[in-house]
A and B are shown apart, each in its own frame.
Chain A
Amino acid sequence: MERVSPAHIAPSDLAWSGLMAAAQAGDRQAYDRLLRDCIPHIKRVARRTGVRPESLDDVVQDVLITVHRARHTYDPSRSFAHWLGAIAQRRAIDHLRHRGRQERREISDDLAYDAFPDAGTTPEGALERDTREREMRGAVAALSPGQREAVELLAVRQRSLAEAAAETGKTKGALKVNLHRALKTLRARFDGAE
């Protein structure tokens, strides 16, 4: 269906096909060059699909990992740009869906904002908040490196388990265990301090 004769493939696409065929045979240099060359193309597809600029790198990372996992499915007699574009578009749509679900879960209550004063607006409140933040930073810094990494990625930067696993190379299970242990340690520390 999308099979195209070599005469109809753009020169850069032909070069990519060659690099991917070499990568399938285990050529790491060709693979490294191919992945780096692909990044602008992936960003273009993601941007066209509607991904916001601040999320482009997340989508690119997801696409590169999918390319790695699916590299055996590429047929060098077909267009590489088309194969890559399909992966990039699908991952961009997955990202937009995930983001949409996240935004639907988060609600804003304007009345609540009006009715409750921000504790940080009074000098005492601001002081108390500063103290709490300092204590919390100290407690997180005192955690083991693995537990600290789990707290920073999952709790502070609000990454999903899959994203954190992709970023650190650790399994989702290991991250969950580290997060639970970290929360237990923090809870014990603050419960004891009260």
Chain B
Amino acid sequence: MATDRRLDDVVARLSADLAPVRRLPSPPVRAACWIGIAAVLAAGLALSCDLPALGRRLMVAPDMWLAVLASTTTAVLAALAAFELSVPGRSARWALLPVPALVLWMSASGLGCLRTWTMPDGGGMGEGGMGEARHCLLNIVLISVPLMAVMAVMVRRACPLRPNLTALVSGLAIAAASATLLNFDHPYDASAVDLAAHLVAVLIVMGLNQVVGARAASGRASMPRP
């Protein structure tokens, strides 16, 4: 039959093209590599920031500790989920892994925002609040660029069968890691505008990653050259 001949031909060409391959490291190992790169970036930022001031700030506001811890956990769990999702045969439920940490992160940031809001000098909605919000937005997006590039290369090395979901979850990992790293350069507690800026930045990073990551991941299968 013509169709059998066609598939025979496909199998023959694929077999002829076969070369030994190095197995992909497991998702936890790949996630650890990516987190290691984020940690190197964090070390670089720590060198250029006022660490004692950061420590004092975190001591004064316990919910900031919680927010930092939750954004770090979100980044770690989302990275692990993204690398799991990038391998064929892994369950789509991995995408739910970072959700509890994400809820905690948003809640803790909201608490900080609420506290600032109830302070007598207003909720940071003034000119200073807007300037700080712009600063946050720009920094999160800038910090996310190298993390996004590394993530795109690493995810592309696998073969994500759900490119959009993988890109969404890896975008969350990048945004959460960038928000964590932003703490090194963040002189104030979260205000309402500030929190909105974080949210917008997270959505921008996830959206950008959705476009870049999904395109990078969904390269259509093509036959090797004879």
Tell me whether B161 and A86 are in contact (CB under 8 A).
Answer: yes
Cβ-neighbour of B22 out of A72, A86, A87, A169 (below 8 A): A72
Q: Which residues of A contact B10 (CB under 8 A)?
A: 61, 64-65
Q: Which residues of A contact B15 (CB under 8 A)?
A: 28, 31-32, 35
* With contact pairs A31-B15, A57-B7, A65-B14 given, residues A75 and B20 touching in the complex (Cβ less than 8 Å): no
For residues 1 through 30 of chain A, which have their beta carbon under 8 Å from a beta carbon of chain B?
Answer: 1-2, 23-28
Q: Which residue of A lies closest to B91 (CB)?
A: A1
Q: Which residues of B contact A86 (CB under 8 A)?
A: 88-90, 161
Min Cβ gap A125→B in Å is 34
In the bound complex, what is the Cα–Cα distance between A30 and B40 (angstroms)? 43
Min Cβ gap B94→A in Å is 8
Tell me whether A162 and B14 are in contact (CB under 8 A).
Answer: no
Min Cβ gap A154→B in Å is 15
Q: Interface size class for chain B? A: 35 or more
Cβ-neighbour of B90 out of A1, A68, A70 (below 8 A): A1
* A48 at the binding interface (Cβ < 8 Å): no
In the bound complex, what is the Cα–Cα distance between A72 and B30 (angstroms)? 14
* A165 at the binding interface (Cβ < 8 Å): yes
In the bound complex, what is the Cα–Cα distance between A10 and B164 (angstroms)? 33
Q: Which residues of A contact B17 (CB under 8 A)?
A: 68
* A150 at the binding interface (Cβ < 8 Å): no
* B52 at the binding interface (Cβ < 8 Å): no
Tell me whether B22 and A31 are in contact (CB under 8 A).
Answer: no
Tell me whether A73 and B87 are in contact (CB under 8 A).
Answer: yes
* With contact pairs A32-B12, A35-B11 given, residues A83 and B88 touching in the complex (Cβ less than 8 Å): yes
Interface of B is mostly: loop
Min Cβ gap A168→B in Å is 8
Q: Which residue of B lies closest to A56 (CB)?
A: B3
Q: Which residues of B contact A83 (CB under 8 A)?
A: 88-89
Q: Which residues of A contact B14 (CB under 8 A)?
A: 31, 35, 64-65, 68
Taken residue by residue from 10 to 41, chain B's Cβ proximity to chain A (1 for < 8 Å, 0 otherwise) reads as: 11111111111111101000000000000000
Q: Interface size class for chain A? A: 35 or more
Tell me whether A32 and B11 are in contact (CB under 8 A).
Answer: yes
In the bound complex, what is the Cα–Cα distance between A70 and B159 (angstroms)? 6
For residues 207 through 225 of chain B, which have their beta carbon under 8 Å from a beta carbon of chain A?
Answer: 220-225
Q: Which residues of A contact B12 (CB under 8 A)?
A: 32
* A66 at the binding interface (Cβ < 8 Å): yes
Q: Which residues of A contact B3 (CB under 8 A)?
A: 57
* A99 at the binding interface (Cβ < 8 Å): no
Tell me whether A70 and B11 are in contact (CB under 8 A).
Answer: no
Tell me whether B18 and A28 are in contact (CB under 8 A).
Answer: yes
Q: Which residue of B lies closest to A172 (CB)?
A: B222
Tell me whether A87 and B161 are in contact (CB under 8 A).
Answer: yes
Min Cβ gap A163→B in Å is 9
Min Cβ gap B68→A in Å is 29
Tell me whether B18 and A23 are in contact (CB under 8 A).
Answer: yes
Between A and B, 9 residue pairs with Cβ closer than 8 Å are A1-B91, A60-B7, A65-B10, A69-B221, A73-B87, A74-B88, A87-B89, A166-B221, A169-B224
A interface, CB within 8 angstroms of B? 1-2, 23-28, 31-32, 35-36, 39, 57, 60-62, 64-66, 68-75, 78-79, 82-83, 85-87, 90, 162, 165-169
